[in-house]
Structure 1
Amino acid sequence: MEEIFVCSSRNCQMIMQKLLRAEWITWTPGRGRGNRSLLSFRQNREELLLQTAKSHVEKGQLKEAIQFVDTYTATDWERAQFHEWLGKQFGYQPLFIHNQRVDTVRLFFPYPFFCLDPAQIQYSFQKHIVNQLFDRLVRFDKEKQLPEPSLAHYWEANSEGDVWRFYLRKGILFHHGKEMNAHDVCYTLFRLKQLSTQLPGLSSYEAIRKVVNTGEYSLEIELHQANHGFIHYLASERASIIPKGICEEMGERFSLQPLGTGPFRVERNDCDLLVLHAHDTYFQGRAHLDQIELWVVADEELTRKSVSEDAYNIHLGAKTEQETSWKSITRQAVGCKMLFWNRKKNGWGCNERFRQALFSAVDQKAFLEQLGNENMLPADRLIGGAVEAPREAASKEEVNSLLQASGYKGEAIRLYTYSFQRNEQEAEWLAKQWEQFGIRVEITVFAPHEFGSTEFFEQADLFLYYQAADENKELFLLEMYASPGSILRRYFSQELNRKIDDDVPGIVQEAAASRRLARLERLEQQIKQNWTVQFLYHRHECASYHPSLQGVTLNALGWVSFKDIWFQDKAANSV
């Protein structure tokens, strides 16, 4: 037995005792010299494999369960048994914890939620979770395109637009039970002002000169200069209100388990699992579900295998062939896949003729025909409806003429993107398209959390990027074009950034929202004419779900809003 277990006699005896206590084996020692001992297995091998894998899952250790199954299963049938069982553990699950029913929805997600601090979020999935955990002073009505009351029930600005006063609702509680008041709002906004010089995404909050509470439930914000659109920055996820002193109290833990006033609170957040529990005293009404679980699974093929048609499930994307009875919902995401140059690098991005040649060689029509689907629409701007007809590539003669004028001699162009959705496939298609015109492109793919760090991109010439947004069109354009810290502005040339910075004060000083928006759109056209950015497509987002799930809606980030989901029991349908 020592040879089988590859251990000492003493450790072998300990292992045997554990197996006996678990009732996996029986052991009858042979008595006397020459009489062999008898070892009998009491458990079926396949049952033990499944039982052990299930035990890992029940502890929230999905990665360990998958690794165990991949390592020890001998047949496809054994693996299929595990995936069939796993699929039935996801979707809607009425759990019983401490003898109490906990209505739960379990979903797969490819990445861990490594940062949920509103001030530091970068990606759409982070924004979505922040929306479940926090509230802002105001929220944005997508239909009216106007801010509406949220934590603040009323606000006003002076005629110049450089002083804003807010009046807060009473009785709103944070997740740890403390009542929200003006001190918390002042702390939040002052923190954004302090961080605005350190974090690129917060540069807009440098506009704040000072914030003072004028009462327990009122405050005043004074700006350095007039900004009639400043209210939009207060509707941003980054301006989510947090408790006074919480960052100093919690330290780094705040990024993983922050405290807000939103409809859900964080109960667990690690590399395996994010658990959100309903905030019972939420001021806009408690969520119907008790708990949301997001299990981190990077393998899309594994996720597909583990989705059960019979489970009360929900997933992003179109219905599969097996999900014939399921429902689906679709909406156009307010965002865009685009190419943009690194104009900060002293390279081919600084050569206007070459920028024009490379963008002119992109056949948007062929790109969408070969890589697209019914959810992809041709784009010629960052936000807005699809164009009537997609662009076709310029002729070889025209592109070659531009390349000759640029002085290009076949040097490698470095295209950077990140591993999300279909970026790698699209980057490879574009590289082959450019190769037909004699343009050589090398592709580098980063993990999503690395893509926001500028230290990686000093050598990049070109970026392939999808920018998601929310329903607030003015805020979206302000953050992308007016904010010096946006992903685009970080790589614009100094000359272009100076031109934008000269235009921005006049834009935000416009009292009429329609005029501000019109000027932002004109600014976008000027950037396009500079051959710095090329817009490829907008994308319809889709979610599919079991018909017993109700209240399913999609937001502009392409995510399902958790607060209003509920389960309609089959028995109720027969009434």
Structure 2
Amino acid sequence: MDISEHYMQLRLKFQHIQDDQELHITIGELAGHLCCTMRNMNLIMNKFKENGWVSWSPQRGRGKKSVLVFCKPAAAAASERFDQLLYANRMEDAYEMASSLPPLIREQLVHNLQHLFGLRSNEGMEGRTDTLRIPQNTPFKTLDPTQTAMWGEGFIITEVFDRLVRYNAERQQCEPSLAVAWESDREGRRWTFHLNKGILFHHGRVMDASDVKFSFDRIIEDPANPSRAMFASIQSIEAVDSLTVHFVLCQPNFMFPDLLSSLYASIIPRDVQMEPLRPIGTGPYRITRHDANLLVLEAFPSYFRGRAYIDRVEVWQLPHSDWPENAIKQRLFPEDTPRAVEHEIQGGVFMTFNMQKDGPHQDLYFRQAVRLLLQSDELTAASASPHIKKAESLIRGPMREVRTIAPSVERDAVQTESGRSVLEQAAALLEQSSYQGEHLRVWVEEGEQMESDMAWFAERCAAIGLNVTIVPGDPVHAVYHHELQPYEIIYTGEVFDEHVMRSLITMYTFGNTLFLLAMNDYWRAELAHECEHIVMIREPALRMERLIQLEDRLIEEALILPVYSFKEEHAHDASLRNYKIAGYGLPDLRQLWIRRKSGSLTAEESSETETSYPVYIPLW
């Protein structure tokens, strides 16, 4: 054990003793507190004295107590040891130590974390190195692009892998990426993609058509692969030559290039076994470390679109608690006003039901009653958060200006019982349903806002005699460990990327979305059938109209109860340029660059080898 750990352990044993206050105690009693021998305790005390941490006046003779005075404040000792552990990449030890500290000292450590995150620019013998450090408190479960269901994982995957095509959100069209061009027949059943030359995987081999074939065969030949339904129209794949790939589909699919632009269609090497936590791709960043504490991405110098500007990205796994997030966000910018980037997330928060489980929630009247209890205008008013807004759909903007089908739940309830309150209408629907007073469990995605929503919802349920228990849960465990089975009601959210139409297809067909995990075989088949017909439509506007109609049907069946949309706010130093929000509401690292501070710096500051640029990226 490090000498500073001994000091912290002893100092915390006597939290009630003030600094510079005399403590009368024997060397034997001290040895007992540190579980060591008296001889070792004397050696430890000498080290304390050498460091100036204590004043120690030993007294000779039986029964006489020595005088100990703590000179180093506990907060200072904790901060010093915390930083030592972090810089040694012993994050688990650092967090374990922090969790054992009194709240005030722990809060101070959180405050000190601000200098560790953001972007740091260092001048060294080999030139300048720019490192972006991002905090996160949810460990990555998988970075296999065909399996991932978490938006933080998707953020990493989009930097490690490329797809045949990429989607340009500004132009709203697919553009070349690994493929330089493509064409199809008039029926949209035969697609040929022509690959770029000389593209390297991170392990040094040139990508060819066989890698593309391998990547999709891996999906469509595995019945358990959650991405399989998205690419179910693929009948066969042929590597015509090293730079040409031919797809034959079993039915027309005019969204085929769009689907191939999704992260689930990332191209992987055929000659390397997939390591879910350290995969190999062709992207601008390669993974050089990934363990329980730290994920490191380093710029791939041979990237075919040009080397990324940021040299290194570190994602630090913080303890699984809420205390670091707000503190880091509030204190990263103690003096300067940050440049804020506000982004409205496409998708939103909604409630659904576990249709794989028997219970009263299988009854439409019951689900209608829940819909009325979950009146989103009242919930958002009760929340008073400036970042959320009532939503009647997961689709927003020009695509969703006019609802094509009014949801009958609200229409019928309000028109037939307009003189009654919402709670009275909900109670009447509950009475009509098969609910017999059962105790139902509500799974809510853990987080302050959503747990607060469900506390409000539970009060509404109690008012009409609906017995519910709210259980916060980790979405990672819910998806990858199938932990939704015991719950009747599910409160979660869906985050779309910039291609909303493709995101909707994904939500209804990708097997690892929380929504699809909650659906039974009937609804999964219905959704797959609908999406098969939607991708056969040639005109994008008509496809979008059909997707809106499909969502309206799900809302009418009270299988999706939209509650609100929300905004994320990024904050960064003005020196970071081209900070643009891309897929899943996260920054596009491929575009980010730094204008190093100059001009206004003092001579002392300009001579420093390291410059810090605060950044807050909500990768939670």
Question: Given the two structures, how large is their TM-score scaled by the length of structure 1?
Answer: 0.85
- Provide the secondary structure at the position in 2 that maps to 1:537: strand
Q: 1:174 to 1:327 in 2, by over 3 A?
A: same
Structure 2 CA distance for aligned equivalents of residues 99 and 14 of structure 1: 44
Aligned-partner Cα distance in 1 for 2:429–2:57: 86
- Pair 1:199-2:211 in alignment: no
Does the 8 A contact of 1:25 with 1:39 survive in 2?
A: no
Do the aligned partners of 2:497 and 2:585 also contact (CA within 8 Å) in 1?
A: no
The answer to whether the Cα contact below 8 Å between 1:333 and 1:541 also exists between their aligned partners in 2 is yes
Task: Provide the residue aligned with 2:302 in structure 1.
Answer: 281
The alpha carbon displacement at 1:207 in A equals 2.7
Instruction: Please state if 1:51 is matched with 2:80.
Output: yes
Equivalent residue for 2:264? 238
Range that drifts further, 138-147 or 87-96: 87-96
Corresponding residue for residue 305 of structure 1: 327
For residues 350-429 of structure 1, the aligned pairs below 5 Å read 350-385=362-397, 395=421, 396-420=423-447, 422-429=449-456
Distance 1:187 1:505 in 2: 24
Quick one: structure 1 residues 303 and 204, their matched pair in 2 at CA, closer, same or farther if it must change by over 3 Å? Answer: closer
Residue 569 (structure 2) pairs with residue 557 (structure 1): no
For the residues of structure 2 that align with 1:430 and 1:13, how far apart are their CA atoms? 60
8 Å Cα contact 2:136/2:315 also seen in 1: yes
CA-atom RMSD in angstroms: 3.6
**Separation in 1, partners of 2:108, 2:123:** 25
Count of aligned residue pairs for this structure pair? 555
Q: Map 1:462-541 to 2 at 5 A.
A: 462-482=489-509, 486-541=513-568
With 182-191 and 418-427 compared, the bigger mean Cα shift is at 418-427
Distance, in Å, in 2 between the alignment partners of 1:365 and 1:64 is 45
Distance 1:52 1:505, change over 3 A: closer
The whole-number CA distance in structure 1 between the counterparts of 2:574 and 2:294 is 26
State the partner residue of 2:281: 260
Give the whole-Å Cα distance in 1 for the aligned partners of 2:349 and 2:249.
34
Deviation at 1:52, TM superposition (A): 2.5
Deviation at 1:72, TM superposition (A): 6.2
Q: Which runs of 5+ in 2 are unaligned?
A: 1-26, 415-420, 602-620
Distance 1:507 1:387 in 2: 20
Alpha-carbon separation, structure 2, partners of 1:300 and 1:347 = 34
Query: Over residues 469-502 of structure 1, what are the superposed CA-to-partner deviations in whole Å (9 max), with x where a residue is unaligned?
Result: 1111221121223556653344335544454444
Partner of 2:174: 147
User: Is the contact between residue 228 and residue 510 of structure 1 (CA under 8 Å) also seen in structure 2?
Assistant: yes
Displacement, 1:219?
0.9
| Cα distance in 1, alignment partners of residues 300 and 129 from structure 2 | 13
**Residues 1:272 and 1:335: Cα distance change in structure 2 (over 3 Å):** same
> 1:19/1:485 Cα in 2 relative to 1: closer, same or farther (>3 Å)?
closer
1:224 Cα deviation from its structure 2 partner: 2.5
* Alpha-carbon separation, structure 2, partners of 1:490 and 1:448: 12
Q: Which amino acid aligns with 2:144?
A: D
Q: Secondary structure at the match of 1:570?
A: coil
Q: 2:300 is matched by which residue type in structure 1?
A: H
Corresponding residue for residue 270 of structure 1: 291
Residue type of the alignment partner of 1:280: P
Using the aligned pairs only, state the percent identity.
26
Contact 2:393 2:562 in 1 (8 A): yes
The alpha-carbon deviation at position 17 of structure 1 amounts to 9.7
Q: CA deviation at 1:51?
A: 3.3
Question: Structure 2 residue aligned with 1:348, among 340, 343, 360?
Answer: 360
- The answer on 1:461 being equivalent to 2:473 is no
Is 1:173 matched up with 2:200? Answer: yes
* Corresponding letter in the other structure for 1:349: H
Aligned 8 A contact 1:147 1:232 in 2: yes
Range with greater deviation from structure 2 (218-227 or 478-487): 478-487
Match of 1:122 among 146, 149, 165: 149
Q: Which of the numbers 103, 124, 129 marks the counterpart of 2:130?
A: 103
CA 475–166 in structure 1, closer or farther in 2 if over 3 Å, else same = same
List runs of 5+ in structure 1 lacking aligned partners.
249-253, 314-321
Q: Distance in 2 between matches of 1:71 and 1:431?
A: 33
Verify the 8 A CA contact 2:219 2:225 in the aligned structure 1: no
Task: Note if contact 2:200-2:206 (Cα within 8 Å) is conserved in structure 1.
Answer: yes
- Is 1:247 aligned to 2:259, yes or no? no
CA 421–513 in structure 1, closer or farther in 2 if over 3 Å, else same: farther
Cα distance change on mapping 1:337 and 1:281 into 2, 3 Å: same
Report the CA distance between 1:515 and its aligned residue: 2.2
Q: Distance in 2 between matches of 1:29 and 1:431?
A: 62
Once the two structures are superposed, residues 337-394 of structure 1 have per-residue CA deviations (whole angstroms, 9 ceiling, x without a partner) of 1111222222112211111122122221111111152322222222223889998996
Q: Is residue 509–residue 528 contact of structure 2 (8 Å, CA) maintained in 1? A: yes
| Partner of residue 68, structure 1 | 97
Correspondence for 1:441: 468
Residue 120 of structure 1: SS of its match in structure 2? coil
Whole-Å Cα distance in 1 between the matches of residues 563 and 152 of structure 2?
Answer: 22
Q: Aligned pair in 2 of structure 1 residues 238, 162: CA closer, same or farther (>3 Å)? A: same
Q: Deviations over 1:295-346 (max 9, x none)?
A: 112333234334575x6x7xxxxxxxx5661110112211111111222222
1:171-222 per-position Cα deviation (integer Å, ceiling 9, x unaligned): 2222222222112111111111133x11334322233222221111111112
Give the drift of 1:23.
10
Letter in 1 for 2:374: V
Deviation at 1:572, TM superposition (A): 4.9
| Cα distance change, pair 119–369 in 1 and its aligned pair in 2 (3 A) | same
Which of 200, 205, 215 is 2:241 aligned to?
215
Q: Counterpart of 1:173 in 2: which secondary structure?
A: coil
Counterpart in 2 of 1:251? none
Identify which range, 357-366 or 134-143, moves more after superposition: 357-366
Asked if the contact 1:113–1:270 (Cα under 8 Å) also holds between the matched residues in 2, the reply is: no
Find 2:595's aligned residue among 563, 568, 574: 568
The aligned residue for residue 113 of structure 2 is: 86
1:388 and 1:204 mapped to 2: Cα distance? 28
Match of residue 254 from structure 2: 228
CA distance in 2, matches of 1:29, 1:511: 89
Q: Distance in 2 between matches of 1:357 and 1:28?
A: 74
Q: What amino acid is the match of 2:390?
A: P
Hey, what does 1:330 align to over in structure 2? 342
**Normalized against structure 2, the TM-score is what?**
0.80
8 Å contact from structure 1 (residues 468, 557) kept in 2 = yes
Q: Which residue of structure 2 aligns with residue 543 of structure 1?
A: 570
2-side partners of 1:63 and 1:85: how far apart? 17
Distance 1:4 1:397, change over 3 A: closer
